[in-house]
């Protein structure tokens, strides 16, 4: 446990080295919320506006999840850099077991995402109102699952390639598919309607439904806005996503960095 | 020669080209398509096409900005000293870089413009040619702006962050994603800034060129947008060149 905490501490210290990068990221998130969402507020169809209260309110949980995703994914970039510069040899020489090292890095990635996301979540609460204490715990638990899953996905991608370009391209693909094919920017019901009309291919609709970013965003909305209705499927999706990617990342990290 | 070198350098960033293409497809295939079903009926008919035109301008902007990153890369690897030792005047070097930055962004965006024309259609080829030519001014101006900021800041981290933040604000406070009328309804201050944004000039011009004339901000078109772009281009190319030229002497970029 002590060793894991050391690894987490090391990764947190690294995280604070990127303070300017974080400032840039937060300015983008806030510009999305306070400029783009405010303008879309005026543009949304009245029928949809009735479902989502207002686009500004609807989008606030989405921005929280975008911030969580981007910051939790950062751990992969650091690990990819360590693999390229062979710093992982030093990490492997430390008196820490491979498993502790892998768990520490995974947890650090997730916790960094949670820390970055906190002011955005607070902003969402200020806009939409505060949840009850049990709801708050469910939200934090669900977002932690999401953050560790994202951290795992990022680590698994990072150790799979020594090329920064390939890592960045893979990250871009993951970002854009998961962001745009989710309920972050628009209600899931709209994507489902497009699927029923044959405009959106069915696999895309299924991806949007199972997308952990949809589940995380809709879970916050269900507690703070009452729409969509809370469903245990949201938790189930997050648990499955987190379980798959934390396990994959741990094994990939332990096996692949030993081989390189 | 300077322009040619910058064009060759850009083609090395294959991953960037792939990444931006994925972004383009995701923007129009997901966001554009779904958002066009989410907006008010008056806008819904044209929103998909309207958004595609906006995405093209966003791509042109971000590709033109990239020249600033090259400058930092060269400073880090000591290529700058080599460039300064060439039998090319400082002014030619800087002007060439600004033009090279603009042209290469067009080469990158060119195929995407062709795809967008295939989707949107082309109402009047002459209008499109006028708009397309004027958009070069926009690309050169953005490259000049990127060079000016890169040389002024001297730190790649700060440049990266500033360009990220600037991109977030300049694109959102423009008509790339939404018409001016809705920005006006949302916030008067935002609307005022949108009116003087070169990204708005370029978006309006491109839409006018492809025949999406509903919800244009500027009037009379295309003159108003072209004048705006000429001012933007002049400010950042000529002022930027002078600024860059002074900074270059005596290792001022370090």
Mean pLDDT of B119-141: 89
Q: Which residues pair with B39 in a beta bridge?
A: A44
Which range marks the domain in which residue B246 is found? 2-251
Inter-chain Cβ pairs, chain A and chain B, closer than 8 A: 107
Q: Which residue of B has its CA nearest to A167?
A: B15
The answer to whether the CB of A110 falls within 8 A of the CB of A151 is yes
The answer to whether residue B182 scores a pLDDT higher than 80 is: yes
More confident residue, A172 or A232: A232
The answer to whether the CB of A158 falls within 8 A of the CB of B9 is no
Distance CA B234, CA B96 (A): 15
Residue contact A165–B14, C-beta within 8 A: yes
Tokens, residue B159: 């440049």
Residues of A in contact with B27 (CB under 8 A): 180
Residues of B in contact with A190 (CB under 8 A): 34, 37-38
Nearest residue, CB atoms, A44 vs list B38, B157, B168 = B38
Our count of domains for chain B comes to: 1
Which phi and psi angles does B196 have, rounded to 5°?
-110, 25
Q: Which residue of A has its CA nearest to B160?
A: A21
Give B72→chain A minimum CA distance, Å. Answer: 17
Tell me B249's DSSP state.
Answer: G
Output the pLDDT for position A205.
93
Q: Kindly report, residue by residue over B15-42, the tens digit of the pLDDT.
A: 777 878 888 888 898 999 999 999 999 8
Distance CA B84, CA A107 (A): 49
pTM of the model: 0.87
Residues of B in contact with A40 (CB under 8 A): 178
Output the pLDDT for position B11.
65
ipTM surpasses 0.95: no
Mean pLDDT of B70-96: 76
Distance CA B102, CA B91 (A): 17
Which of A151, A107, A117 minimizes the C-alpha distance to A10? Answer: A107
Helix axes A55-84, A212-224, angle to 10 degrees: 140
Q: How far is CA A215 from the centre of its chain?
A: 11
Tell me B236's DSSP state.
Answer: I
Tell me A131's DSSP state.
Answer: P
Output the pLDDT for position B251.
61
Residue contact A190–B34, C-beta within 8 A: yes
B40 backbone φψ class: left, alpha, beta (φ>0; ψ -120 to 50): beta
Residue contact B186–A39, C-beta within 8 A: yes
Distance CA B65, CA B144 (A): 9
Q: How far is CA B193 from the centre of its chain?
A: 17
For the stretch A49-86, what's the b/e string if a residue is b when 16 or more beta carbons lie within 10 angstroms of its beta carbon?
Answer: beebebbbbbbbbbbbbbbbbbbbbbbbbbbbebbbee
Residue contact B39–A43, C-beta within 8 A: yes
Q: Mutate which of B25, B168, B177 to test chain A, going by most A C-beta atoms within 10 A?
A: B168
Furthest-apart CA atoms within chain B: distance in Å: 61
Distance CA A98, CA A111 (A): 20
| DSSP-derived 3-state class of residue B39 | strand
> How confident is the prediction for chain A on average, in pLDDT?
89
> How confident is the prediction for chain B on average, in pLDDT?
84
Q: pLDDT tier at A37 (50, 70, 90 boundaries)?
A: very high
Distance CA A133, CA A97 (A): 38
The answer to whether residue A212 scores a pLDDT higher than 90 is: yes
Mean pLDDT of A129-143: 96
More confident residue, B92 or A237: A237
Tell me B253's DSSP state.
Answer: T
Q: Which residue of A has its CA nearest to B161?
A: A24
Mean pLDDT of A145-169: 87
Nearest residue, CB atoms, A43 vs list B31, B40, B167 = B40
Output the pLDDT for position A257.
73
Residues of A in contact with B182 (CB under 8 A): 39, 42-43
| DSSP-derived 3-state class of residue A44 | strand
For the beta carbon of residue B126, count every other beta carbon within 10 angstroms. 8
Residue contact B178–A191, C-beta within 8 A: no
Output the pLDDT for position B249.
67
Which of B150, B162, B144, B136 minimizes the C-alpha distance to B240? Answer: B144
Residue contact A32–B173, C-beta within 8 A: no
Distance CA A248, CA A245 (A): 5
């Amino acid at each position: 446990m002590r060793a894991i905490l050391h690894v987490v501490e090391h990764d947190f210290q690294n995280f604070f080295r990127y303070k300017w990068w974080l400032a840039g990221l937060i300015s983008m998130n806030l510009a999305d919320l306070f400029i783009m969402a405010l303008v879309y507020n005026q543009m949304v169809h009245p029928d949809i506006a009735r479902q989502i209260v207002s686009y500004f309110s609807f989008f606030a949980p989405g921005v929280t999840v975008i911030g969580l995703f981007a910051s939790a994914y950062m751990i992969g970039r650091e690990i990819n850099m360590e693999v390229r510069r062979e710093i992982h040899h030093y990490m492997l020489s430390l008196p820490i077991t491979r498993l502790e090292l892998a768990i520490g890095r995974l947890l650090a990635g997730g916790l960094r995402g949670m820390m970055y996301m906190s002011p955005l979540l607070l902003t969402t609460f200020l806009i939409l109102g505060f949840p009850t204490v049990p709801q708050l715990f469910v939200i934090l638990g669900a977002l932690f699952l999401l953050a560790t899953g994202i951290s795992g996905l990022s680590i698994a991608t990072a150790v799979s390639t020594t090329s920064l370009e390939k890592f960045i391209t893979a990250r871009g693909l993951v970002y854009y598919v998961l962001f745009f094919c989710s309920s972050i920017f628009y209600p899931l019901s709209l994507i489902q309607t497009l699927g029923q009309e044959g405009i959106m291919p069915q696999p895309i609709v299924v991806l949007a439904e199972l997308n952990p970013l949809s589940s995380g965003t809709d879970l916050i909305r269900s507690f703070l806005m009452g729409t969509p209705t809370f469903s245990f499927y949201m938790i189930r999706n997050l648990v499955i996503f987190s379980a798959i990617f934390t396990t994959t990342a741990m094994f990939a990290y332990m096996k692949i960095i030993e081989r390189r | 020669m300077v322009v040619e070198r910058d064009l060759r350098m850009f083609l090395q960033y294959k991953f960037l080209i792939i990444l931006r293409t994925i972004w383009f497809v995701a923007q129009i295939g997901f966001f554009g398509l779904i958002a066009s079903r989410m907006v008010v009926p008056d806008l819904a008919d044209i929103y998909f096409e309207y958004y595609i035109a906006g995405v093209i301008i966003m791509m042109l902007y971000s590709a033109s900005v990239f020249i600033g990153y090259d400058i930092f890369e060269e400073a880090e690897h000591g290529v700058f000293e080599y460039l300064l030792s060439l039998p090319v005047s400082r002014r030619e070097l800087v002007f060439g870089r600004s033009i090279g930055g603009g042209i290469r962004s067009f080469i990158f965006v060119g195929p995407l413009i062709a795809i967008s024309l295939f989707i949107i259609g082309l109402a009047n080829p002459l209008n499109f040619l006028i708009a397309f030519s004027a958009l070069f001014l926009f690309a050169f101006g953005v490259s000049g702006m990127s060079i000016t900021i890169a040389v002024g800041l001297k730190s790649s981290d700060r440049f990266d962050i500033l360009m990220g933040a600037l991109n977030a604000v300049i694109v959102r406070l423009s008509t790339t994603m939404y018409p001016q009328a809705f920005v006006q309804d949302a916030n008067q201050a935002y609307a005022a800034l949108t009116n003087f944004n070169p990204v708005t000039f370029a978006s309006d011009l491109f839409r006018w060129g492809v025949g999406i004339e509903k919800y244009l901000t500027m009037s009379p078109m295309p003159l108003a947008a072209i004048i705006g772009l000429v001012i933007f281009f002049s400010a950042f190319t000529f002022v930027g060149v002078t600024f860059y030229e002074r900074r270059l002497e005596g290792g001022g970029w370090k």
